[in-house]
Structure 1
Amino acid sequence: MYRTLSLAAMIALSAGCASQGGHTTMGTTKDPDAVKGVTWQWLSKTTDKERLEVTEPERYTFALQPDGRVYARFDCNQGNGAYEISSGKLEFGPIAMTRKACLPGSLDSTYAQALVKVESFRVEDGELILGLDDDGSMHFRAAP
């Protein structure tokens, strides 16, 4: 009895999460409200040429404010600027940032250069994935 009920519940749940036309998978959204008001920590960057893993994600963050402002941390530097977002699309305007010299091995300039290339987003199973204009991507998690 329980096995039959569990299987029926799983099927109903799966059917409820499936999208029309198969464009959205369970746990994926392109809703701007899913991104705003969250501090996102940078996990990795992937392009055709490289895969970069970030060992200290809490040092590279950004948060989209409801008023169209973005606040970011670039390791030892802070920055803010403007952004535009719509369903599945995200672009950062110029981001003014402090110019401290971070320790050797910092990814501050790599992170800043990558944010300029952002053109799309999706949240998939709680992870934010930013699409870059060079067919690369950046992965983020919500800060604890």
Structure 2
Amino acid sequence: MAGLRQALFLAGLLLPGWLLQSAPAWAVNPPPVPAELAGIWRWVGLDAPGKATRVSAPERYLLSFPEAGRIALKADCNRAAGGASFGENGALKVGVMAMTRAMCPPGSLGDQFAEDVSLVTHWSIKDGALLLELGDGKGTMRFLPQM
């Protein structure tokens, strides 16, 4: 037992300092979800440079922020969940998401939907619609509230 304690002590001395630090405050106490984003949102389209995608079955592509620091998706026949952090002026960063990998029917937009959500950098509400801007000018996803 003494040998194990000594090994752990020595390992602690050799670890880089950043491994020994506690988690940052934003990870422990994430900012609350803005009130405007409460509820479930249906994906209705993507406006990208040179291409517009209209979603024919929006009820198969849902997004929500169930609690501070979290995002949840229904991506056709799959589900995904991960971290999300809100910043100033509509900034939004979506973290790594865990996703089921069921085989959806041909023509599914599930993979595109989840990938696009992971690229979001900002959000806004316009005329009752949630707009999620993708990074690097890749387009804007449009959502309507789930009825």
User: Which bracket does the TM-score occupy, shorter chain normalised?
Assistant: 0.7 to 0.9
After TM superposition, give the deviation of residue 121 of structure 1 in Å: 0.6
- The equivalent of 1:80 in structure 2 is 81
| Local SS of the residue matching 2:136 | coil
Residues in 2 aligned to 1:54 and 1:142: alpha-carbon distance in whole angstroms:
14
| Local SS of the residue matching 1:134 | helix
After TM superposition, give the deviation of residue 49 of structure 1 in Å: 2.4
After TM superposition, give the deviation of residue 65 of structure 1 in Å: 2.1
| Local SS of the residue matching 1:105 | coil
The share of aligned pairs that are identical, in percent, is: 33
- The equivalent of 1:14 in structure 2 is none
User: 1:111-132, CA deviations, whole angstroms, 9 ceiling, x for partnerless residues?
Assistant: 0111111000101121000111
- The equivalent of 2:100 in structure 1 is 98
Normalized per residue, the structure richer in helix is 2
Matches of residues 110-121 of structure 1 in structure 2 within 5 Å? 110-121=112-123
- The equivalent of 1:15 in structure 2 is none
- The equivalent of 2:61 in structure 1 is 60
Residues in 1 aligned to 2:121 and 2:92: alpha-carbon distance in whole angstroms:
5
- What runs of 5+ residues in structure 2 fail to find an aligned partner? 1-32
- Aligned AA for 1:114? D
TM-score normalised to structure 1 length = 0.74
**Consecutive aligned runs of 4 or more in structure 1 exceeding 4 Å deviation:** none
- What runs of 5+ residues in structure 1 fail to find an aligned partner? 1-30
Residues in 2 aligned to 1:102 and 1:65: alpha-carbon distance in whole angstroms:
24
- Between the two proteins, the alignment pairs up a number of residues equal to 113
